[in-house]
Amino acid sequence: MHKKVAFGLLSLCILIAISTLSYAQSKKAQRRRTTTGGANLLKLISCCDDLKELKVQVANLTSILTDLSKKQETDWINVVMQVMDLEGNYRQVESRITEAEGKYSEMNNRIDIMQLQAAQTVTQTSAETDAVYDCSSLYHRSYKISGVYKLPADEFLGTPELEVFCDMETEGGGWTIIQRRKIGLTSFHRDWKQYKTGFGNIRGDFWLGNENIFRLTRQPSVLRVELEDWNGNLRYAEYNSFSLGNELNSYRLFLGDYTGNAGRDSLRYHNNTAFSTKDKDNDKCVDDCAEFRKGGYWYNCCTDSNLNGVYYRHGEHTKHSDGISWYGWHGSSYSLKQVEMKIRPQNFTP
Ligand SMILES: [Ca+2]
């Protein structure tokens, strides 16, 4: 009986001990679970911070992008404005040229009227005995105003009726102008036929025509070449004799002695040389000089001057080998602003 009670008590004690132990363990486990949950929460908080930081960075980048695209837009607007400005300038220059040409022709009209008045006076006062060959004959008949005159056909020189521009002022006057470059709107890259008969505007840029020059220079003549650069400097080259061969001789150039202040005599190289045009290569070169220098001229191989070259305006006049050049003054790539070639008889006295 005592043994049974003692056993029962022992069992009860063991039971109590086991349940106490398991309770403690379950508490410990519970405590452990709680610790793991805290770590996760911490992690979550720090992740939110990263996200915030990223968001700030994104916002920064977005604002930089906006700034950049705004800047690009401003740059683009600036470019468009500059293009518009340039177009405006171009139009201004164009309208200035038109205006200048208008004034020029108006001036010429006034001179025409003066010439008509002078002509009336002349016919009333002078006897018409001498034949009119050129501007020097007109000068001797007291036509002393520079401008456009009409020469009658002449049997002696074999010339047809011809409109000429007379320079009645330079070095005593009496000059018949055979070439002029000053406005730059007339192309001089022309064919044989056009150079033979002449082209352009007698008040502006023109070539009087090889046939006319040939006939006019059958009387012993002087040639004067006048040059102007883009700084307004003037130079001249004068030849005490000047004539052309006939068409069979390809209007070959014959020059006398040079005087002047145009640096080196840059027409000498072209002496005794046939005339060439884009459709007639008579030069002394393998190259086609007329095509190369874009004019009609007495090309040798090829040029020491190119007075019938391309007209380049101020700003673009210093970089081309086909411009209106006179190597002995401004070199091979400087295109002159103005040129005039004029002739008068050797025996002319004002
Ligand atoms: Ca050739």
CA of 289 to the centre of ligand 1 (A): 6
CA of 300 to the centre of ligand 1 (A): 9
CA of 177 to the centre of ligand 1 (A): 29
CA of 326 to the centre of ligand 1 (A): 21
CA of 277 to the centre of ligand 1 (A): 11
CA of 283 to the centre of ligand 1 (A): 5
CA of 216 to the centre of ligand 1 (A): 28
CA of 109 to the centre of ligand 1 (A): 43
CA of 245 to the centre of ligand 1 (A): 20
CA of 282 to the centre of ligand 1 (A): 6
CA of 292 to the centre of ligand 1 (A): 10
Pairing of strands 234-239, 258-260: antiparallel
Q: How far apart are CA 207 and CA 214, in angstroms?
A: 13
CA of 308 to the centre of ligand 1 (A): 17
Q: CA-CA distances (angstroms) from residue 220 to 166, 254, 260, 344, 348?
A: 18, 11, 20, 9, 10
CA of 12 to the centre of ligand 1 (A): 135
Q: How far apart are CA 136 and CA 348, in angstroms?
A: 7
Q: How far apart are CA 266 and CA 200, in angstroms?
A: 25
Q: Which residues of 222-241 are buried (b: 16+ CB within 10 A; e: fewer)?
A: bbbbbbbbbeeeebbbbbee
CA of 302 to the centre of ligand 1 (A): 9
**What's the whole-model pTM score?**
0.66
Of 138, 130, 128, nearest to 164 by C-alpha is 138
Q: How far apart are CA 112 and CA 108, in angstroms?
A: 6
Query: Position 80: which residue type?
Result: V
pLDDT tens across 198-212, in order?
999 999 999 999 999
CA of 200 to the centre of ligand 1 (A): 26
CA of 286 to the centre of ligand 1 (A): 4
Mean pLDDT score of the chain? 86
Q: Is the pLDDT of residue 287 over 60?
A: yes
CA of 191 to the centre of ligand 1 (A): 15
What integer is the mean pLDDT of 295-308? Answer: 98
Task: State the number of CA atoms in the 13 A half-sphere of 133 facing the CB.
Answer: 20
pLDDT tens across 227-257, in order?
999 999 999 999 999 999 999 999 999 999 9
Q: Is the pLDDT of residue 124 over 50?
A: no
Residue 300 is predicted with a pLDDT of 97
What integer is the mean pLDDT of 249-266? Answer: 98
Residue 43 is predicted with a pLDDT of 61
Partner residues linked to 154 by β-bridges: 159
CA of 341 to the centre of ligand 1 (A): 25
Q: How far apart are CA 305 and CA 255, in angstroms?
A: 14
Distance of CA 72 to the CA centre of its chain: 31
Beta strand segments in 152-251, E: 162-167, 175-181, 199-200, 206-207, 221-228, 234-239, 242-244
CA of 284 to the centre of ligand 1 (A): 6
Asked if 278 and 290 count as a contact pair (C-beta separation under 8 A), the reply is yes
What integer is the mean pLDDT of 4-18? Answer: 51
Task: Choose from 19-23, 54-58, 83-87, 259-263 the range with maximum mean pLDDT.
Answer: 259-263
Q: Is the pLDDT of residue 58 over 60?
A: yes
Structural domains of the chain, ranges and CATH numbers in brackets: 131-345 (3.90.215.10)
